[in-house]
Amino acid sequence: MIEVEVKARAYKDSKEKIDALGATFLLVENHRDLYFNSPSRDFKQSDEALRIRIKEDGARLTYKGPKLDQQTKSRRELTVKIDDPTQMGEILSFLGFVLSAEVRKRRTKYSYQGMVIALDEVEGLGTFLEVEAQGEEDWENEKERVLSVLKKLELKDTIRRSYLELLEEKRAEQDRQKI
Protein backbone atom coordinates (compact mmCIF):
# COMPACT_ATOMS: atom_id res chain seq x y z
CA MET A 1 0.00 0.00 0.00
CA ILE A 2 1.15 3.54 -0.73
CA GLU A 3 0.47 6.04 2.03
CA VAL A 4 -0.11 9.41 0.39
CA GLU A 5 0.52 12.10 2.97
CA VAL A 6 1.05 15.83 3.23
CA LYS A 7 1.91 17.69 6.39
CA ALA A 8 2.08 21.34 7.42
CA ARG A 9 2.34 23.34 10.62
CA ALA A 10 -1.15 23.88 12.01
CA TYR A 11 -2.54 27.33 12.65
CA LYS A 12 -4.55 28.31 15.72
CA ASP A 13 -7.76 28.07 13.67
CA SER A 14 -6.95 24.73 11.98
CA LYS A 15 -9.60 22.85 13.98
CA GLU A 16 -12.25 25.37 12.96
CA LYS A 17 -11.21 25.03 9.31
CA ILE A 18 -11.43 21.22 9.55
CA ASP A 19 -14.93 21.57 11.00
CA ALA A 20 -15.88 24.06 8.26
CA LEU A 21 -14.90 21.48 5.60
CA GLY A 22 -17.51 19.13 7.04
CA ALA A 23 -14.96 16.56 8.22
CA THR A 24 -16.28 13.98 10.68
CA PHE A 25 -14.51 13.66 14.04
CA LEU A 26 -13.28 10.08 14.55
CA LEU A 27 -11.23 9.85 17.75
CA VAL A 28 -8.25 11.04 19.76
CA GLU A 29 -5.23 8.74 20.07
CA ASN A 30 -1.97 8.92 21.99
CA HIS A 31 0.98 7.58 20.01
CA ARG A 32 4.31 6.39 21.34
CA ASP A 33 6.49 5.72 18.30
CA LEU A 34 9.74 3.80 18.70
CA TYR A 35 12.08 4.11 15.71
CA PHE A 36 14.76 1.55 14.95
CA ASN A 37 17.78 1.70 12.67
CA SER A 38 19.05 -1.25 10.65
CA PRO A 39 22.35 -3.02 11.23
CA SER A 40 22.85 -3.35 7.46
CA ARG A 41 22.06 0.20 6.28
CA ASP A 42 21.39 3.62 7.75
CA PHE A 43 17.69 4.37 7.36
CA LYS A 44 18.43 8.09 7.53
CA GLN A 45 20.55 7.71 4.39
CA SER A 46 18.13 5.34 2.60
CA ASP A 47 15.05 7.43 3.54
CA GLU A 48 13.34 4.45 5.17
CA ALA A 49 11.81 3.93 8.61
CA LEU A 50 11.03 1.02 10.90
CA ARG A 51 8.72 1.84 13.77
CA ILE A 52 6.75 0.27 16.57
CA ARG A 53 3.67 2.40 17.26
CA ILE A 54 1.96 1.88 20.59
CA LYS A 55 -1.52 3.36 21.04
CA GLU A 56 -4.73 2.64 22.90
CA ASP A 57 -6.01 0.00 20.49
CA GLY A 58 -2.75 -1.94 20.40
CA ALA A 59 0.66 -1.89 18.78
CA ARG A 60 1.87 -2.15 15.20
CA LEU A 61 5.19 -2.66 13.45
CA THR A 62 5.52 -0.48 10.35
CA TYR A 63 8.09 -0.32 7.57
CA LYS A 64 8.13 2.86 5.46
CA GLY A 65 10.00 2.93 2.17
CA PRO A 66 11.69 5.94 0.56
CA LYS A 67 9.53 8.93 -0.39
CA LEU A 68 8.19 8.70 -3.95
CA ASP A 69 8.08 12.37 -4.95
CA GLN A 70 9.48 15.79 -4.07
CA GLN A 71 6.20 17.36 -2.93
CA THR A 72 4.67 14.96 -0.40
CA LYS A 73 5.59 12.24 2.07
CA SER A 74 4.06 9.53 -0.13
CA ARG A 75 5.77 6.18 0.34
CA ARG A 76 5.20 2.44 0.46
CA GLU A 77 4.02 1.42 3.91
CA LEU A 78 3.65 -2.09 5.34
CA THR A 79 2.08 -2.54 8.78
CA VAL A 80 1.37 -5.57 10.94
CA LYS A 81 -0.37 -5.72 14.28
CA ILE A 82 1.79 -7.04 17.10
CA ASP A 83 0.69 -8.43 20.45
CA ASP A 84 3.67 -7.41 22.55
CA PRO A 85 5.64 -4.29 21.61
CA THR A 86 8.26 -4.91 24.29
CA GLN A 87 9.01 -8.40 22.95
CA MET A 88 9.03 -7.06 19.38
CA GLY A 89 11.58 -4.44 20.42
CA GLU A 90 13.72 -7.16 21.98
CA ILE A 91 13.49 -9.31 18.83
CA LEU A 92 14.61 -6.35 16.72
CA SER A 93 17.45 -5.70 19.17
CA PHE A 94 18.64 -9.32 18.98
CA LEU A 95 18.64 -8.99 15.18
CA GLY A 96 20.95 -5.98 15.44
CA PHE A 97 18.40 -3.18 15.09
CA VAL A 98 19.05 -0.21 17.37
CA LEU A 99 16.40 1.96 18.99
CA SER A 100 17.24 5.39 17.59
CA ALA A 101 14.44 7.63 18.84
CA GLU A 102 11.04 7.95 20.44
CA VAL A 103 8.30 10.32 19.28
CA ARG A 104 5.17 11.00 21.33
CA LYS A 105 2.08 12.72 20.06
CA ARG A 106 -1.59 13.23 20.64
CA ARG A 107 -3.52 12.77 17.37
CA THR A 108 -7.06 14.00 16.75
CA LYS A 109 -8.44 12.21 13.68
CA TYR A 110 -11.15 13.25 11.26
CA SER A 111 -12.60 11.57 8.19
CA TYR A 112 -13.12 13.57 5.01
CA GLN A 113 -14.06 12.17 1.59
CA GLY A 114 -12.24 8.87 2.17
CA MET A 115 -9.17 10.57 3.60
CA VAL A 116 -7.93 11.09 7.15
CA ILE A 117 -7.16 14.53 8.49
CA ALA A 118 -5.02 14.44 11.62
CA LEU A 119 -4.25 17.26 14.00
CA ASP A 120 -1.04 16.18 15.76
CA GLU A 121 0.32 17.71 18.96
CA VAL A 122 3.91 16.45 18.93
CA GLU A 123 5.99 16.60 22.12
CA GLY A 124 8.83 19.04 21.64
CA LEU A 125 7.69 20.23 18.21
CA GLY A 126 4.22 21.78 18.35
CA THR A 127 1.06 21.17 16.36
CA PHE A 128 0.84 19.88 12.80
CA LEU A 129 -1.90 18.96 10.39
CA GLU A 130 -1.64 15.89 8.15
CA VAL A 131 -3.91 14.79 5.33
CA GLU A 132 -3.56 11.11 4.40
CA ALA A 133 -5.02 8.78 1.78
CA GLN A 134 -4.14 5.32 0.57
CA GLY A 135 -3.48 4.19 -2.94
CA GLU A 136 -1.52 1.85 -5.17
CA GLU A 137 -1.31 2.47 -8.91
CA ASP A 138 -3.61 5.50 -8.40
CA TRP A 139 -1.42 7.11 -5.73
CA GLU A 140 -0.77 10.18 -7.91
CA ASN A 141 -4.54 10.84 -8.08
CA GLU A 142 -4.68 10.52 -4.29
CA LYS A 143 -1.78 12.95 -4.06
CA GLU A 144 -3.81 15.57 -5.92
CA ARG A 145 -6.77 14.97 -3.59
CA VAL A 146 -4.73 15.40 -0.40
CA LEU A 147 -3.02 18.51 -1.78
CA SER A 148 -6.43 20.00 -2.63
CA VAL A 149 -7.62 19.42 0.95
CA LEU A 150 -4.49 21.11 2.28
CA LYS A 151 -5.27 24.06 0.01
CA LYS A 152 -8.88 24.19 1.28
CA LEU A 153 -7.48 24.33 4.80
CA GLU A 154 -5.33 27.28 3.65
CA LEU A 155 -2.07 25.57 4.56
CA LYS A 156 0.58 26.41 1.99
CA ASP A 157 3.99 25.21 3.11
CA THR A 158 4.17 21.44 3.21
CA ILE A 159 6.78 19.65 5.29
CA ARG A 160 8.30 16.48 3.84
CA ARG A 161 10.38 15.64 6.88
CA SER A 162 9.03 13.17 9.42
CA TYR A 163 8.50 14.08 13.07
CA LEU A 164 11.61 12.03 13.79
CA GLU A 165 13.65 14.13 11.34
CA LEU A 166 12.22 17.37 12.76
CA LEU A 167 13.11 16.31 16.32
CA GLU A 168 16.64 15.36 15.24
CA GLU A 169 17.05 18.77 13.56
CA LYS A 170 15.83 20.51 16.71
CA ARG A 171 18.26 18.53 18.91
CA ALA A 172 21.15 19.29 16.55
CA GLU A 173 20.29 23.01 16.65
CA GLN A 174 20.13 22.93 20.46
CA ASP A 175 23.52 21.19 20.56
CA ARG A 176 25.01 23.85 18.24
CA GLN A 177 23.70 26.62 20.50
CA LYS A 178 25.45 25.03 23.52
CA ILE A 179 28.85 25.35 21.83
SS (H, E, C) the chain: CEEEEEEEECCCCHHHHHHHHCCEEEEEEEEEEEEEECCCCCHHHHCCEEEEEEECCEEEEEEEEEECCCCCCCEEEEEEEECCHHHHHHHHHHCCCEEEEEEEEEEEEEEECCEEEEEEEECCCEEEEEEEEEECCCHHHHHHHHHHHHHHCCCCCCCCCCHHHHHHHHHHHHHHHHC
pLDDT > 80? residue 105: yes
pLDDT > 80? residue 179: no
Rounded to the nearest integer, the mean pLDDT of the chain is: 95
pLDDT digits (tens, 9 = 90+) for 155-172: 888 899 999 999 989 888
Q: Which residues are known to be catalytic? A: 35
